[in-house]
Amino acid sequence: MGKIVIAIDGYSGCGKSSTAKAVAKALGFTYIDSGAMYRAATLHFLNHYLSPSVPHDVEKGLKTLEISFQINPDSQKQETYLNGLNVEDEIRTMRVSEKVSEIATVKEIRKELVSQQQRLGKKKGVVMDGRDIGSVVFPDAELKVFMTADLETRAARRQQELLEKGDMIDMEEIKTNLSERDRIDSSRAESPLTKMPDAVEIDTSNLTFEEQVQQIVDLAKEII
Ligand code: C5P
């Protein structure tokens, strides 16, 4: 089977990450969660370079930022590491979610993370999800998918996800966070979230998880 790059972009909470992960598994590809990288960078700046709310010393902050992924031997799940520490749970908290889109507007931070993502995907055989994968990171990706879902569905899924981790978050708070991130992500000057003309749009509002994964796997198999 040939190796291609599959770029999955879309709004917050559409299930891009879990779908991308399952697509990668079905095809024997590597999954790369670019959102986790922005989240880890956000945690780093929140902890060291944010006072009171604007990131300072961006250059220095980037020099001391090391993000990596490792497979947990027990769960077999991919986990995010920041400077050697496992931050997989911490980067999914509301503290990080509330700040990440702002941090992701900073040009220098995007530049650094995009080049790391391009390095990670150089050998192809990757599925990467995010906001600018098909437009900036891999404009030549063989398959581009743009995922959407209505806000109610997205918020309900996100609430369930957080609940499974023991975080009971109010539905309105989740909806506000998702809409606010969509607004910032779509309107920022640096590589805004946009559907590329060559991307296939998949609205997952009324699809089961298995159906959305299968649609993408089928599209990939037409190319491979
Ligand atoms: O994918 P996830 O929702 O975890 O991403 C968190 C945030 O990181 C997004 O809301 C967006 O602001 C930013 N992001 C981005 N570009 C990407 C991936 C994520 O700007 N490629």
DSSP per-residue string spanning 8-57: EEESTTSSHHHHHHHHHHHHTPEEEEHHHHHHHHHHHHHHHSBSSSSB--
User: Do residues 207 and 145 make contact, with C-beta atoms less than 8 angstroms apart?
Assistant: no
Q: Which atom of ligand 1 is nearest to the CA of 133?
A: 21
| Strands lying side by side in the sheet with 67-71 | 67-71, 78-82, 85-86
Domains of the chain: 5-217 (3.40.50.300)
Regarding beta strands 78-82 and 67-71, do their DSSP bridges make them parallel or antiparallel, or are they unpaired?
Answer: antiparallel
Nearest CA to ligand 1 atom 16: 131
Per-residue confidence (pLDDT) for residue 56, from 0 to 100: 79
What is 94-156 written as a DSSP string? HHHHHHHHHHTT-HHHHHHHHHHHHHHTTT--EEEEESSIIIII-TT-SEEEEEE--HHHHHH
Per-residue confidence (pLDDT) for residue 57, from 0 to 100: 87
Other C-beta atoms within 10 Å of 77: how many?
10
Evaluate whether ipTM surpasses 0.90.
Answer: yes
Per-residue confidence (pLDDT) for residue 52, from 0 to 100: 59
Per-residue confidence (pLDDT) for residue 38, from 0 to 100: 98
Per-residue confidence (pLDDT) for residue 55, from 0 to 100: 73
CA–CA gap between residue 135 and residue 216 (Å, rounded): 18
Q: Which residues line ligand 1 (CB under 6 A)?
A: 12, 34-35, 38-39, 100-101, 104, 130-133, 181, 185
The dihedrals phi and psi of 209, each to the nearest 5 degrees, come to -60, -45
CA–CA gap between residue 218 and residue 223 (Å, rounded): 9
Nearest CA to ligand 1 atom 12: 101
Nearest CA to ligand 1 atom 1: 35
Per-residue confidence (pLDDT) for residue 90, from 0 to 100: 97
Mean pLDDT (10-residue bins), the chain, 224 residues: 93 94 97 98 91 77 96 95 97 95 95 97 97 98 98 96 94 97 96 97 95 98 96
Answer positive or negative: Cα dihedral of 164, 168, 170, 173. negative
14 marked among binding-site residues? yes
Per-residue confidence (pLDDT) for residue 1, from 0 to 100: 66
Nearest CA to ligand 1 atom 11: 101
11 marked among binding-site residues? yes
